[in-house]
Amino acid sequence: MSAASRGAAGAIALLLAAGGAEAAPIPPIGPLDLCGDVAMQSWEPERFVRGKPGFSGSLGRDRKFPARFRVVLRNYRGVDAATAARINGVLSMRPEERGAGEPRVVLLVPHGDSRFLEDAASLCVEGYHIGGDEGGTWTRYRTLSVRRR
């Protein structure tokens, strides 16, 4: 690429950045049916996030995230390793959730009852779907079943 081409490309990039950001949707995942043993789980209450002026998509609007569980499954079934890796990337699997060489997958499971997964040994989710953009990630499911200890 010549110096003139690089300069033109840089100028175009600056113009695009100055004109506000475009929403970049997450390529949707699902619907999926998956099950596994509960390795970790935590509950997050509903939260409200103000939009950022000048941005499109959900980042530019006020939005509400539903109360939800963050669940890490081990011995999962229903998805292959590549799909699990994609889910873990989109849902930002944390280092402490990875386990010691054991395949795991993280899920965000919308649910308003903070005690719903108490004593959960395993769970199955049917019709699980992930979508969103740079403003947030939303998940939904058709059915959820829990086996307790």
**For residue 25, what pLDDT band results from cuts at 50, 70 and 90?**
confident
Three-state SS at 93: coil
Q: List the domain boundaries for the chain.
A: 24-148
Answer yes or no: is pLDDT of 16 > 80: no
State the sign of the Cα–Cα–Cα–Cα dihedral 136, 137, 142, 145: negative
Question: For position 95, what pLDDT does the model report?
Answer: 86
Phi, psi of 4 (to 5 degrees): -65, -40
pTM for this one? 0.77
Question: For position 9, what pLDDT does the model report?
Answer: 43
Question: For position 23, what pLDDT does the model report?
Answer: 54
Answer yes or no: is pLDDT of 139 > 70: yes
Q: What is the pLDDT of residues 66-96, one digit of tens each?
A: 999 999 999 999 999 999 999 999 998 888 8
Answer yes or no: is pLDDT of 22 > 80: no
Could you tell me if 43 and 17 are in contact, meaning their C-beta atoms sit under 8 angstroms apart? Answer: no
Question: For position 52, what pLDDT does the model report?
Answer: 87
Answer yes or no: is pLDDT of 107 > 80: yes
Q: Distance between CA 131 and CA 17 in Å, rounded?
A: 24
Question: For position 38, what pLDDT does the model report?
Answer: 97
Taking residues 52-73, report their average pLDDT.
86
